[in-house]
Chains A and B, each alone.
Chain A
Amino acid sequence: MSLVNFTAREITCKIVYYGPGRSGKTTNLQYVYGRVPEARRGRMVSLATQTDRTLFFDFLPLELGTISGFTTKFQLYTVPGQSYYNATRKLVLQGADGVVFVADSQARRFDDNLESLQNLQDNLLAQAVDVRQLPVVFQYNKQDLPRDLILNREEMDDALNFRDVPSFSADALHGSGVFETLKGVSELVLKRLAAGTAVA
């Protein structure tokens, strides 16, 4: 749930990058971390296994700037994508103000995307969060791969984006689409906050 400090005029929101294993969630945060001036971000914390797979979460605190007179801070989290880490995903998802679903555009990962999206919905329902009310955007990552290996944005939308929420093509490794995705989810989260109907 977003927190607002009226005395210090600060807004803090929690954004969770969700999606199947190896879809590029951590890569998104690493790119953001690399591009943002040090004064505007904290240390990126990665609780990972020895093989650099996310074990608990990655975390990156960001100061977005001043919006309507409020210093706006975002906390970016990723969840571990592998299916057996569901208990951890639930914990990280708790209190999220917005979700970026990072899907792997490779055709062979089609089922993994669907399974992860279903898992997101299940976990939100278990936390009594109305999926339709939560700001969600899709990012179709790895769109830089050869065309015969991937589904394009329209095909990905058809497969995953039933609610017609904002979606973005991306190549997170090289940064394409990362900024647009963050902007997309930020807009939705702040609109929701301004409407005064917190999610959780």
Chain B
Amino acid sequence: MRALEPWVAAPLQTFINESAARLILLMTTSGQVVAQHGFSRSVEVMTAAALGAAIVASTEELSRTMAAPRFGAVVHNGSRQSCMLSAFATPRGRWIGLVVFGSETSVGLVQLFFDQMVEELVMVAPKEQAPAPMLAENFEDELNTSLKELFGR
């Protein structure tokens, strides 16, 4: 399991243990990864986050179009595994959870423990914003080198 900030780890671990979910991804509404469990490659996580955030953004837009309240969760029921997406408010802004689960658990259990995790996250979230990183003065040189290497130039 990987979490952007340490205070996210304990509620997330409890959720993983209790819900028996296979994968979980917490992200911002703009698709930035906050924490994850179960993914192997970081770039795959970013793709899942981008798509998850897009689905939630689309359904929220859809509910606005229909003048309906926001949907609580979106569940895709699959034959081998299912997936739930749900957005929630935290002191660090609005986040989204993407949970993939199989037949060893149920959507009811996943939703139940997910809601408990959200309550816990809101409770333990620090009120102050995360600090900005200190980049070295010559970071542009490092950026140039990295990009040249990336593009094979």
A interface residue numbers (CB < 8 A to B): 1-8, 11-12, 14, 35-37, 40-43, 45, 47, 56-57, 59, 61-68, 70, 72-73, 75, 77, 87, 91-92, 94-96, 179, 182-183, 186-187, 190, 193-198, 200
Contact = CB atoms under 8 A, between A and B. Distances in A.
A14 B31 contact: yes
Contacts of B142: 65-68
A145 B44 CA distance: 37
A14 B32 contact: yes
9 contacts: A1-B30, A40-B150, A42-B41, A59-B51, A65-B142, A94-B29, A95-B29, A179-B151, A198-B132
Nearest to A186: B143
A25 B7 CA distance: 38
A47 B3 CA distance: 28
B115 interface: no
A4 B132 contact: yes
A65 B47 contact: no
Contacts of B30: 1, 14, 94-96, 200
Given A65-B145, A87-B61, A183-B147, A73 B46 contact: yes
Contacts of B2: 8
A65 B150 contact: yes
A125 to B, nearest CB: 17
Nearest to A12: B32
A7 B6 CA distance: 8
A12 to B, nearest CB: 6
B49 to A, nearest CB: 8
B147 A182 contact: yes
Given A72-B146, A95-B31, A193 B151 contact: no
Nearest to B28: A95
B104 interface: no
In order of increasing CB-CB distance, the 5 nearest A-B pairs are: A95-B30, A65-B146, A42-B43, A196-B132, A61-B46
B140 interface: yes
Contacts of B143: 64, 67, 72, 183, 186-187, 190
Interface string B108-139: 00000000000000000000001111111001
Nearest to B58: A91
Contacts of B23: none
B132 A45 contact: no
A65 B149 contact: yes
Contacts of A195: 132
Interface in B43-98: 43-44, 46-47, 50-51, 54, 57-58, 61, 93
Contacts of A47: 54
Contacts of B5: 5-7
A194 B134 contact: yes
Contacts of B149: 65
B42 interface: yes
A43 B152 CA distance: 19
B20 interface: no
A92 B146 CA distance: 27
Contacts of B58: 56, 91
Contacts of A87: 61
Contacts of B10: none
